[in-house]
Amino acid sequence: MPANAAPARVAESHALGLSSAGVTESPGNRSMPLESRSPGPKPFYAIAHRVLTSEGVRAAVKHGANAIEIDVQGWKRGAFTSRWELWADHDGTLTSAGDTIRNLFYTIADERQRGADIAFVWLDMKNPDYCNEDDSSEYGCSTLKLMNLARVILQPHGVRVLYDFSTRRGRNYEKLRTMLNPNEAMGLAVRWEERDRMESLGPHNKAQRIYSTGFFNWWFKYDSVKQEIREAIDSQAFGKVFSWTMTTGQTDNGNGMMAHTAIDGLIYGRAALSYDSTWASFGALDDIKSWIKRRPRERYLATAKDSPW
């Protein structure tokens, strides 16, 4: 555990103010004060893709990412253990897990305390209903435990949270939708043709409704993704609109997405591998930075003091 994360560990162990659902209401839902900004250039979020380890977090921070995307799976690791835990894990196999979510959150909190501009963490919920929060043996890998960890470890340091669901079926989509605090937002599990139902399917506060669409390799679906992004932005139904995944070598596609839409941010990195220190992970970020640098009156890289929602 990073040395500077000790206060967060203490806060977690003494978090007694629980709601009836078992989610911490205090002190974890307090965040750092925000910096007010006058009208001008819009903040842009460069979101590191598939960060599964503490080393990946530190690499993303070093490269200049201002948001972190993490795949989340709750499961029992190993055949001979009863330890149920939340893991940073995209594939959900016996060998695919990275660090535990708890340890990853401590690393992010530590980097934030050191001054890193981590505006938010994007949690890609892979199996949100696998663990039952009402079963004491499984609570440690439940979605409510995830929310509790985020509120206690991340949010006191100004790191906000996006919960992104791939489907609205299941108990935890609706549960989290009604429990969001002001530091949290929700990626809507809706098809584009259902956009007229946003009020009933997503948070009532538009700022907390996040829409994203993309493909692991833009070479195959770039035009259709860009068109859907445009339509989502034009609908004015969402607080933020993001796309994924911009990879190294896709300079023209990335520039086109940023120039021809009013997109709020891009997930960048390796298409189908976790984030690391190599150029394959950060090459696309260099393209994003270059594009923004040429347009100081239009965009700037968001800082931790900019509230994404």
Q: What is the pLDDT of residues 250-280, one digit of tens each?
A: 999 999 999 999 999 999 999 999 999 999 9
For the segment 71-99, what is each residue's pLDDT rounded down to a tens digit?
999 987 655 556 789 999 998 787 888 99
For residue 271, which phi and psi values (nearest 5 degrees)?
A: -60, -45
Residue 30 pLDDT greater than 70, yes or no = no
DSSP string, 6-56: HHHHHHHHT--EE-TTS-EEESTT--PPPPP--SSSEEEEEEES---SHHH
Largest CA distance in the chain: 58
- Cβ atoms 187, 162 nearer than 8 A: yes
Residue 166 pLDDT greater than 90, yes or no = no
Helix, strand or coil for residue 295? coil
For the segment 281-307, what is each residue's pLDDT rounded down to a tens digit?
999 999 999 999 999 999 999 999 999
Residue 2 pLDDT greater than 60, yes or no = no
First to last CA, the chain: 30
Q: Could you tell me whether strands 120-125 and 84-88 are parallel, antiparallel, or unpaired per DSSP bridges?
A: unpaired
Quickly name the fold that domain 41-301 has: TIM Barrel (3.20.20)
Catalytic position from the list 14, 49, 90, 157: 49
Active site residue 49: yes
